Amino acid sequence: MRSDLEPFFIALRDRDRYVRRAATEALAQIKDYHAVEPLLLALKDEDSVVRRNATEALSKLHDPRAVQAFVKALTDSSELVRRVATEAIIDIGEPAIAPLIAVGNSESHRALVMDILAKIGASAVDYFIGTLSSPILETLGSMACSKLALLRSLL
């Protein structure tokens, strides 16, 4: 771990939410892979701004270790956290497909997962076709394929 980042990591555990917010903002600017684990912990912070900042910082790193956390953030109570997580998942692309499918089995998240998969593109559809093994996945896959075909026709 880089010792010059240690003050930021300590600040992520501070009682004052403004200190934690500033630490996540700074780590987003620094863009260092040593910050991934502390930022993943910050995604569990009680303050939604800290969670959003941590999500943004992680999204700039494009680190596959954050995929599961981004998928989990799709159910965050903060719309801003959900929005940043959605964009991060789309940017990551293919490595996010399998975790998304697990979330897509929940009826309450199906539409969001379909939208994200359509934005990821053809690799998501190919993955879906290879994993169709349940009625829920078949329906989800069919809907995602239809949506992707519609998006392609509009482009």
**Beta carbons within 8 Å of 113's beta carbon, 6+ residues apart:** 100, 101, 103, 104, 140
Closest CA to 17 of 56, 50, 52, 44: 50
- pLDDT value of residue 97: 80
Q: Mean pLDDT across the chain, nearest whole number?
A: 84
Q: How many helices (H) and strands (E) does the chain have?
A: 10, 0
The answer to whether residue 44 scores a pLDDT higher than 70 is yes
Residues 150, 97: one domain?
Answer: yes
Query: How many domains does the chain fold into?
Result: 2
Domain end position, chosen among 46, 65, 84? 65
Residue 135 structural domain: 93-155
Residues 61 and 9 in one domain: yes
How far apart (Å, rounded) are the C-alpha atoms in residues 53 and 35?
13
Does 14 have pLDDT greater than 70? Answer: yes
Residues written for the chain: 155
Q: Are 101 and 47 in a shared domain?
A: no
The answer to whether residue 39 is domain-embedded is yes
Mark whether 49 and 100 lie in a shared domain. no
Could you tell me the pTM of the whole model? 0.74
Does some domain include residue 153? yes
Domain for residue 87, yes or no?
no
Tell me whether residue 21 is in a domain.
yes
